[in-house]
């Protein structure tokens, strides 16, 4: 299909914006802890909505990149190979850089034990973290050794379910809905397993919203970029204007708002391609994964450095540290992520290639 090979510059730019939302949230948290003294609970929590945008984008990209694969029929044996290649590509894309930054944190904790006041290393928990298995941490939360990796545990669940749907030639949306519903049923019947209860959160259905957007894009008439702009604006307002609070369901608030934002970005693609800085901003989207993982090191170091320099203005700190995060993330992408991805692709290139392209990594 034509849409299966299309590159979505707007989605890539949106990926960068989502990463920066999370970054700003963590900067404000570091400011409240180290400068203003108001404590770790006083920060811009809405920045966490960047994760919801990530999840919707992930579902959209996975559906678009596999749109040419058939559903069942005589091609089913080839679908088993397609599912394996899909999962292998996802692991190559996600795991090496995550392992690098996880082990970097372990090295820092071992070299500077004073950091262990907020986190520590336990072999069993570290192994679970590296294998993307949700587990109780030594500090009492269901988090991996690199805490931002909690989102990757959800990503891996989605990839695994999606890969099984490919292998079975099953309709993607219905299969994912059924699989996630079973997870919720399992958590109700078996409340003790940590991993099962971790996965039983409505946020998992945000991936399916992204899959639905891809299916709608491939099968129905596209709206105009102007409508896309209106939809994106409506989604952003819905996400950030109300004070949803901690009791609101994340899927119904940030998740649905994120879906509108991503849908608007897809419809705005004709305008985005003509934007003067589109290609450069798209590069920042490429670097968004490196930005997301590396910022957990840059943010606290940057805030503490500015504190020692006597900088107290919160806006100045957000801007300076945010810029440092972008630079560090881009360097990580060019010097670490891209070479590692290329190396592992070459190392595991023996399997036949699939007949589709990825529209946005």
Q: Which two tokens stand for residue 268?
A: 């705005």
User: Is the whole-model pTM more than 0.95?
Assistant: no
The pLDDT, as a whole number, for residue 120 is 81
Phi first, then psi: give them for residue 125, nearest 5 degrees: -65, -40
| 337-345: Cβ within 8 A, 24+ apart | 337/96, 337/97, 337/287, 337/289, 337/290, 340/96, 340/97, 340/100, 341/92, 341/93, 341/96, 344/92, 344/96, 345/92
The pLDDT, as a whole number, for residue 351 is 44
Q: 6: buried, middle or exposed (CB in 10 Å: 19+, 13-18, 0-12)?
A: middle
The pLDDT, as a whole number, for residue 348 is 86
Can you give the pLDDT of all 361 residues of the chain as single tens digits?
A: 333 447 899 999 999 999 999 999 999 999 998 898 777 678 899 999 999 999 999 999 999 999 988 776 555 668 889 999 999 999 999 999 999 999 999 999 999 877 665 678 999 999 999 999 999 999 999 999 999 999 999 999 999 999 999 999 999 999 999 999 999 999 999 999 999 999 999 999 999 999 999 999 999 999 999 999 999 999 999 999 998 887 889 999 999 999 999 999 999 999 999 998 998 899 999 999 999 999 999 999 999 999 999 999 999 999 999 999 999 999 999 999 999 999 999 998 754 444 434 444 4
- Residue 317: C-alpha distances to residues 17, 36, 62, 211, 296 (Å): 19, 12, 36, 38, 16
DSSP letter (8 states) at residue 252: I
The pLDDT, as a whole number, for residue 306 is 97
The pLDDT, as a whole number, for residue 70 is 75
The pLDDT, as a whole number, for residue 112 is 85
């Amino acid at each position: 299909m034509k849409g299966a090979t299309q590159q979505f510059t707007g989605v890539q730019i949106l990926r960068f914006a989502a990463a920066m939302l999370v970054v700003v949230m963590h900067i404000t948290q570091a400011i409240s802890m180290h400068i203003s003294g108001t404590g770790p609970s006083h920060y811009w929590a809405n920045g966490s909505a960047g994760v919801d945008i990530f999840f919707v984008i992930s579902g959209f990209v996975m559906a678009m990149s596999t749109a040419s694969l058939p559903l069942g029929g005589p091609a089913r044996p080839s679908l088993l190979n397609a599912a394996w290649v899909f999962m292998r590509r996802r692991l190559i894309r996600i795991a090496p850089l995550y392992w690098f930054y996880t082990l970097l944190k372990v090295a820092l904790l071992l070299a500077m034990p004073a950091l262990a006041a907020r986190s520590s290393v336990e072999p069993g928990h570290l192994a679970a973290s590296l294998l993307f298995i949700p587990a109780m941490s030594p500090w009492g939360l269901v988090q991996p050794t690199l805490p931002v990796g909690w989102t990757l545990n959800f990503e891996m669940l989605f990839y695994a379910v999606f890969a099984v749907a490919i292998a079975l030639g099953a309709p993607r949306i219905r299969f994912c809905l059924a699989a996630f519903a079973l997870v919720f049923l399992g958590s109700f019947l078996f409340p003790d397993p940590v991993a099962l209860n971790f996965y039983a959160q409505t946020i998992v259905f945000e991936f399916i919203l992204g899959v639905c957007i891809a299916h709608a894009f491939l099968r129905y008439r596209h709206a105009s970029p102007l409508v896309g702009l209106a939809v994106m604006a409506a989604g952003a307002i819905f996400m950030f204007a109300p004070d949803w609070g901690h009791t609101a369901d994340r899927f119904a608030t940030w998740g649905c708002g994120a879906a509108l934002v991503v849908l608007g970005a897809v419809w705005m693609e004709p305008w985005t391609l003509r934007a003067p800085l589109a290609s450069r901003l798209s590069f920042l989207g490429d670097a968004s994964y490196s930005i997301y993982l590396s910022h957990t090191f840059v943010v606290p170091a940057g805030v503490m450095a500015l504190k020692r320099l006597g900088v107290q203005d919160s806006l100045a700190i957000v801007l300076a540290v945010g810029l440092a995060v972008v630079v560090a993330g881009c360097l990580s992408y060019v010097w670490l992520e891209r070479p590692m991805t290329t190396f592992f692709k070459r190392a595991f290139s023996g399997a036949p290639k699939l007949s589709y392209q990825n529209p946005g990594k």
